[in-house]
Structure 1
Amino acid sequence: MILHTFTLTLGSTRPIHGSAHELRGFFATKFNEYAELHQHNADKFIYRYPVVQYKMSGNVPTVIGINEGAEVLKQIFDEYQEIRLGENTYQIVERGISLKDEEFGISDKIHSYEFATPWLALNQENYRKFYTLKGKPERDEFMRKILTGNILSMAKSLNYDVPGQIKCDAQVHFRKDRLKDVSVMVFTGKFQANFLIPDLLGIGKSVSRGFGAVRQLKGEYGGDSACSSSLTHGDRT
């Protein structure tokens, strides 16, 4: 399957400080008529994989549109001269644009990825279940299923029917983070899968706010094994 992507990066006269959540808030408020930018329709949340995703890559605001999301970004990417993130306003003096047709879906090769931003893998129910599991093997298997489910959910929302079994490995550790002033558990590290995912697309929860962005690691091979994972604790408080 081919995904059409539009990647927008923004530059100012000074370093930009802010979060992906604040970047999303700017676009959602400025262009509220486009549901793709904020996933709400008449105050009701749209439960689907976000086709517009926001990242802060270093101090560079980055917005990625996928398919219909790419078409929206084409229309509005230059319709503003400044952005407001939190209490700070930045004049926009540079816009970087990248239009691509990218492969997505099951592959006959294993591809290696790293989480460029923390992976928010667990909802409240799975969070509680994770802590009831005894020992590393059970938790590893549980996280493998979560990873596979996240990939399948992303594929379904993008109207891609997965024609075969997803194989994967993962080497991740978990730590605490904050999402809208709430403490959450996130995962960082690497994974391998027989599945092609374009760079910086997110998997898991809250990907529109920058979580779970992946980046392919060129030249690394994950092996043709059954799905498994290696899990470590990154925050031992």
Structure 2
Amino acid sequence: MPIIKVIKITFDTNLKSSEIPKFRGAVVEVVGRQNVAFHNHISDSQFAYSYPVIQYKTTNGKASIVCIHDGVDEIHEFFTKNTGRVRIGSQFRPLMVESMKINSFDVGLTSTSHRYQINDWLALNEINHIKYQELEGISEKVQFLERMLIGNLLSFAKGINWTVGDPIILKITDIPSESTVKHKGIKFQSFSLSFKTNMYLPPDIGLGKGASMGWGTINKPINL
């Protein structure tokens, strides 16, 4: 099983969820657009379809960044250039570290299951949204979402340079919340749900569309 580092940095800057894209823009302005890991864009018109190793979030109303695997090394570029003040949208705000958590995780498949809660998960692109709506049975819809989630786990594994050799076992156990949200001006279905899987995952990482900007964040695993 691969051992990866994850750093969660929380700043003393108040930040609303709706301001996360502007926060990301502020960080990119500091490090420069040549650092693709900070924004996942190869060019203005070309997107890098890879798992984001630097993710922007809010933690208890404060700006935060989660760095995963290669992102741990990349974040040093920001700290060497950060002056403690950034422009978020049209406002200049202080940006000083309030807390930093550094952990190593044995990520991989285990003989036991782990239970997670994933919040505001954008599971479906436009094509899959149509397929999902065409399904009539609840069990069919759940199985469809399970396949999407397994796909997200494989994307994460690829992002940390891990080839998953054995089957991923995953079951959605509860879907307490489903809503329509806007991401980049486009409407998506957002799910907050519980699932269990034989893959051990670090807490605070994001899965699915918009993972780099706070969507699809998972909580701390619970062994079953």
- Return the TM-score normalized by structure 2: 0.89
Distance in 2 between residues matched to 1:212 and 1:41, nearest whole Å:
23
- Within a 5 Å distance, the mapping from 1:17-166 to structure 2 comes to 17=16, 19-31=19-31, 32-43=33-44, 44-77=46-79, 79-115=82-118, 117-166=119-168
Of stretches 98-107 and 86-95 in structure 1, the one that deviates more from structure 2 is: 86-95
Structure 1 vs Structure 2: percent identity of aligned residues?
25
What is the CA–CA distance in structure 2 between the aligned matches of 1:41 and 1:205, rounded to whole Å? 18
Unmatched 5+ residue regions in structure 1? 222-237
Residues 70 and 160 in structure 2, CA contact (< 8 A), matched pair in contact too: no
Gapped regions of structure 2 (runs ≥ 5) = none
The number of equivalent residue pairs is 217
1:5–1:99 Cα contact (<8 Å) kept: yes
Conservation of the 8 A alpha-carbon contact between 1:6 and 1:73: no
Please tell me whether residue 190 in structure 1 is matched to residue 191 in structure 2: no
| 8 Å CA contact retained: 1:121, 1:205 | yes
Taking a change above 3 Å as real, the CA distance of residues 42 and 182 of structure 1, as seen in their structure-2 partners, is closer
CA contact 2:10–2:63 (8 Å) conserved in 1: yes
Equivalent position SS for 1:19 = helix
Q: Which moved more, 1:146-155 or 1:39-48?
A: 39-48
Report SS of the residue matched to 1:208. Answer: helix
Q: Distance in 2 between matches of 1:185 and 1:174?
A: 7
How many Å separate the matches in 1 of 2:212 and 2:103?
19
Correspondence for 2:185: 181
